[in-house]
Amino acid sequence: MNERPPHVRSDTHAPVLVVADDLTGANAAAAGFARAGLRAVTVRAAPSEELVGEFAERFDVLVFSTDSRHCPPEEAAARISAVVHGSWPAALVCDRVDSTLRGNIGASAAAALRAVRERSGRRTVALCAPAHPAAGRHTVEGTQLLDGTRLEETELARDPRTPVTTSDVATLLRTQADLRVAWLPLSAVTGEPARLRALVAGHLDAGTDVLIADALTEDHLARAAWAAVAAGGADTVWVGVDPGPGSVALARALGITGRAGGAPVLAVSGSTTALTRAQLARLRAEQPVTVVRPVPARGAHLVPERGGVRATARGAVPDAEATARVLGEALGTAGPGEVVLLATVLESTDVAEYGPEESAALPVALARAARRAMERCAVEGLYATGGDVSAALFAELGADGLDVADEVVPLAVAGTFVGGPWAGLPVVTKGGLVGDAGTAAVCVEHLRQAASAARRQVHTVRTAVPRGWFDAAGAGAGPGAGAGVGDGDGAGGTGSTGRTGSTGDRGARTADHEEGTARTRTRRKP
């Protein structure tokens, strides 16, 4: 079900809000959204309003753990309500429940529905799709199965804190809340989409609060989510009640996508070798590349170039400040993953004779221009070809070292900066005589993949709980609350703190226009 209902828009900037009842479940839900291409952060306790705002700017999905699985139902309800009210607005609210249905699923679902209804002022309905097919959790005839067995026939029935006495999802929901529950059977979920949509519409017309969806596969979850969104139209706000995959499907059906991920890759070449020229020519032929040529110092004799591009005068060290302005403009207009190439030599006619002083000053000027541009605009990776340029970039960018990960090809080393303002930035360095004609393209693709992996990384942030978040329930969760008890769903661990430096918000993506003829753009050939 890849078609999006026609009324759905995907340009919302509000985050998805997931409220989980324990930390491992929160991490697992965040990982699911991260795999779907959205950047997710897990939060162990309710943060301040300022921190919520910061997270909303940096992440697509905010996942809170309330540590409420073993709380009394009214306390669990108060906690989820506080998080929703304190974190609004949201593109989608998800009540993340245990995949084996332990805890306060009725109380939390009712609280999430009520809070979203109060904040949105619109009809609010929950899609409860508790299947987690990849983990062996399936829903058939409204019954939750663990590896094909009813929950009450497994060891869950003897859980010392939250024993499961029934596998009937509707019964578990109604035990703690007065909810009008309807069911989407597997025969409807796997049938004609139009009939499934009509079935959902009928339940909505009847005033249903929660729709339980049968599912054996991820595709079944997608079908149920699409039908719900299509039938509900623009007047219905949906809330996900599930272990994670159902809410991911619901987000997709709603057209919620991550922000335009990433930033350009910056390539800096100070090498004059024929091999480097061949590598850059292949890169420009195969990938979207914006070429920036160093801007000559004032008074230097300019060498004309095809297309009106001005190159550095032969034997002249470029003007670092002027080059930085042009480079910053190029980075500011390049799309995510595109390449901005700062190169001294592209053709054999560019090769010039330099004296010892100019030879030493040239890589420093290129590195300084790169730094000034990177202070204005984010980059998601840095490719440096030429030993002198690589060393100058390390010094100019204040890196203490390189956390080496691998060789992309022999003698082309990949890693991330250690220390300095660009710590964590993916980097590939190589000499001018390393590799073959395709090496530059391979190195740039490696940087893209490294940056993409960093964006998908799930971060966990431990914060103190301000007064008032959980006070209504008398819980006073306190700093670091929410560790909870693992439920078998968790992603494990608490992740890392902070953010990756590869796409840091380092300054506005603007630059003064100068020497506009000093850059050209090439696109992939058909």
Supply the range of the domain harboring residue 213. Answer: 16-254
Do residues 191 and 280 share a domain? no
* Mean pLDDT computed over 347-368: 86
Asked if residue 390 belongs to a domain, the reply is: yes
Q: Which residue has the higher pLDDT, 390 or 451?
A: 390
Give the rounded percent of residues in the chain with a pLDDT score beyond 90: 67
* Mean pLDDT computed over 167-178: 96
Do residues 427 and 403 share a domain? yes
Do residues 327 and 244 share a domain? no
Residue after which a domain boundary falls, among 422, 442, 457: 457
Whether 501 shows a pLDDT value over 60: the answer reads no
CATH of the domain at 326: 3.40.980.20
Distance from C-alpha of 295 to C-alpha of 325, rounded to nearest angstrom: 10
Distance from C-alpha of 447 to C-alpha of 211, rounded to nearest angstrom: 44
54-58, 143-147, 202-206: least confidently modelled range: 54-58
What is the Cα 191 distance to its own chain's centre?
A: 33
pTM of the predicted model over 0.75? no
Residues with Cβ within 8 Å of residue 226, at least 6 apart in sequence: 1, 3, 5, 193, 253
Whether 524 shows a pLDDT value over 80: the answer reads no
Reported as type and span, the H/E element at residue 264 is none
Whether 423 shows a pLDDT value over 50: the answer reads yes
Are the C-beta atoms of 294 and 342 separated by less than 8 Å? Answer: yes
* Mean pLDDT computed over 129-138: 97
Q: Which residue has the higher pLDDT, 490 or 31?
A: 31
Q: Which residue has the higher pLDDT, 517 or 141?
A: 141
Report residue 444 as tokens. Answer: 């740039």
CATH of the domain at 123: 3.40.50.10840
The number of distinct structural domains making up the chain is 2
Do residues 332 and 247 share a domain? no
The reported pLDDT for the residue numbered 13 is 66
The reported pLDDT for the residue numbered 39 is 86
Do residues 238 and 269 share a domain? no
Render pLDDT for 341-350 as a digit per residue (tens, 0 to 9).
999 999 988 8
Render pLDDT for 179-226 as a digit per residue (tens, 0 to 9).
999 999 999 999 999 999 999 999 999 999 999 999 999 999 999 999
The reported pLDDT for the residue numbered 24 is 94
DSSP 350: G
The reported pLDDT for the residue numbered 459 is 53
- Model confidence at 46, in pLDDT bands (50, 70, 90)? low
The reported pLDDT for the residue numbered 510 is 28
DSSP 307: G
Q: Which residue has the higher pLDDT, 497 or 239?
A: 239
The reported pLDDT for the residue numbered 58 is 79
Do residues 88 and 225 share a domain? yes
Distance from C-alpha of 523 to C-alpha of 158, rounded to nearest angstrom: 63
Asked if residue 465 belongs to a domain, the reply is: no
Whether 507 shows a pLDDT value over 60: the answer reads no
Residue after which a domain boundary falls, among 429, 457, 485: 457
Render pLDDT for 370-393 as a digit per residue (tens, 0 to 9).
999 999 999 999 999 999 999 999
Do residues 250 and 269 share a domain? no
- Model confidence at 458, in pLDDT bands (50, 70, 90)? low
Q: Which residue has the higher pLDDT, 456 or 396?
A: 396
Greatest mean pLDDT among 22-31, 496-505, 511-520 lies in 22-31
Of 372, 375, 323, 385, whose CA–CA distance to 519 is shortest?
323
* Mean pLDDT computed over 3-21: 65
Greatest mean pLDDT among 116-120, 296-300, 508-512 lies in 116-120
The reported pLDDT for the residue numbered 350 is 84
25-29, 307-311, 359-363: least confidently modelled range: 307-311
- Model confidence at 73, in pLDDT bands (50, 70, 90)? very high
Residues with Cβ within 8 Å of residue 436, at least 6 apart in sequence: 275, 279
17-31, 206-220, 223-237, 494-508: least confidently modelled range: 494-508
The end-to-end CA distance of the chain, in Å, is: 30
The reported pLDDT for the residue numbered 517 is 35
Residues with Cβ within 8 Å of residue 53, at least 6 apart in sequence: none
The reported pLDDT for the residue numbered 514 is 33
Do residues 43 and 74 share a domain? yes
Whether 119 shows a pLDDT value over 80: the answer reads yes
Do residues 126 and 78 share a domain? yes
Whether 395 shows a pLDDT value over 60: the answer reads yes
